[in-house]
Structure 1
């Protein structure tokens, strides 16, 4: 089942976004996903 990827933006509002707003939304989403990935990485093992 597919879910709407932007829970805070209703589909009818999404349709009214300008090209610049869509680029910004995509960039913010990419940054958010990258930060989640970084947080989920395990710390490196050291020989202390």
Structure 2
């Protein structure tokens, strides 16, 4: 709605927030994968 009135600083702020959200989601995804692998590894190795 206010795209024409928005300043470059506001656009940069939005990009920073979007980038931070993406990095946080990426980091939590990697941490989740690592936790799942380390938690499931002993069980999967015992099952095999």
TM-score band by shorter chain is 0.5 to 0.7
Structure-2-length-normalised TM-score? 0.57
> What stretches of structure 1 of length at least 5 have no aligned partner?
1-11
Given the two structures, how large is their TM-score scaled by the length of structure 1?
0.57
Structure 2: give runs of 5+ residues left out of the alignment. Answer: 43-48
RMSD across aligned positions (CA): 2.1
1:14 is the counterpart of 2:3? yes
Structure number with greater CO (CA < 8 Å, separation at least 6) is 1
Provide runs of 4+ in structure 1 moved above 3 Å.
none
SS in 2 for 1:14: coil
Larger Rg, first or second structure (1 or 2) = 2
CA distance in 2, matches of 1:18, 1:38: 30
